[in-house]
Amino acid sequence: MKIDFTSHKIYSLLLVAALAAAGISFLLTPMVWISKIGNIHDIKIYGKHIFFAYSGLEALFANAPAGHRDETVALNPQMFIFVSYAFLLVSVGLALLKKKTFFPILTIVASVAFAYLACDHFGWLERSNYEFLWGFNVFVAFMFLAMVLTFVSAGLSKLKVRSGEFKDHVALLTMLIPGTIFLVVFAYFPMPGILIAFKNMRLLGSSLFENFFKSSWVGFNNFRFMFATPDAFNMTRNTVLYNLTFMALGLVAAVAIAIGITEISNRRTAKLYQTLYFLPFFLSWVVVSYLTFALLSYDYGALNGILRAFGMPEVEWYITTKYWPYIFVIANLWKYAGNGSIIYTATIVGIDTALFEAAAIDGANRIKQIWHITLPMLKPIMILLSILSVGRIFNADFGLFYLIPRSGAIRSVSLVIDVYVYQGLTSGSVNIGMVSAAALYQSAVGFVLILLTNWIVSKISPDNTLL
């Protein structure tokens, strides 16, 4: 019998099998070892004991000293197990549906989270020698396999792999796999962490889950406190205005560089200029900060050396705020304009040369050809990249605003949301809830802005929208 690995059905069956194996492994393996309760030694608790609300210790607790009986109340975490298995069963149901979706990934993550809480519940007992044994590790391994199979099964179903279109683009789609894995691991898995923004997080235990569930809910108090601080308006204003400036000037600079390079007739000269413009993108902000220091240092900087040579007063650049908005803009353009021009250069190269030849025959010079042919052809990609940039208008370049100034003397013009979040996490009196609120505020506003921008573009130029 030949197995068709391009069919989503085989992966759906493997998904159900992986979920079943995960559930069985969690029930049949020990999760905690209680070394001593009263005069009782060496007691193992299994998943099946917890699931069926019978730990095997009830009779033994009757003989335990009276002073220790209150501690045994915590030995009933079966509700966490029930919820974990409820999510597991929902995952199985979604896997068996004819219409394949990616939703089982969410229910699998929820199932693992509640299973962890059930195990970690025992770790809060003072008299427990707490450790995860191989049962929970096997459970997590099968659940991770289930997530991979969910992605493969739903992906094959959505892409219609048996169609000719998929076969024509299979190589390109394969190239997306590393980026997709990166996106899932670093973007989707951490998403439940947004709940921290609504908590008064305290370090009350040894694990993140314990700290989270023992910390109290505070609703929107973290947001209220954040907006009540004098930094709220300052960091929001700086982040938005800098990004608007970067977007506008960056677009003009990138398009100008792309047009200038494509207008150079000598290919070697064009490649040389393109390399020179693109090279700064590969330099880290740490290197750029030292280059900036070589220019702006009060005693040894090149700029102050030039001012001294002409008999002009020297400038203490690192404590004079009025110059830094311009310095930030120049540094951003120097580093990113060349990289941004690559897409526009590729678009210009792809324009049909017959259009330029026809325009030249009609008497149009190079400036008119650029204005009436090149720029209109660049319009769709310019709109697309602008929409994507608007989505990141609340995300500042951390390296630029944290490393280049080298100190907090110009905090009024260098404080942006990313720097605020970092300083909050690294300060001695860290408020994780408020820092998470700032990060959530940043993401939520960016999401709304990208939808709003896309809606405005759909009204003006429907053919150039992102969605």
Q: What's the CATH superfamily of 221-464?
A: MetI-like (1.10.3720.10)
pLDDT reported for residue 281: 92
Confidence of residue 159 (pLDDT cuts 50, 70, 90): low
- Phi, psi angles (nearest 5°) of residue 42: 55, 75
pLDDT reported for residue 73: 38
Q: What is the pTM of this model?
A: 0.64
pLDDT reported for residue 183: 82
pLDDT reported for residue 61: 47
Convert the pLDDT of each residue in 339-377 to its tens digit.
889 989 989 988 888 988 899 888 888 889 999 899 999
pLDDT reported for residue 336: 92
Confidence of residue 256 (pLDDT cuts 50, 70, 90): very high
> How do the domains of the chain map onto residue ranges?
8-176, 221-464
Confidence of residue 75 (pLDDT cuts 50, 70, 90): very low
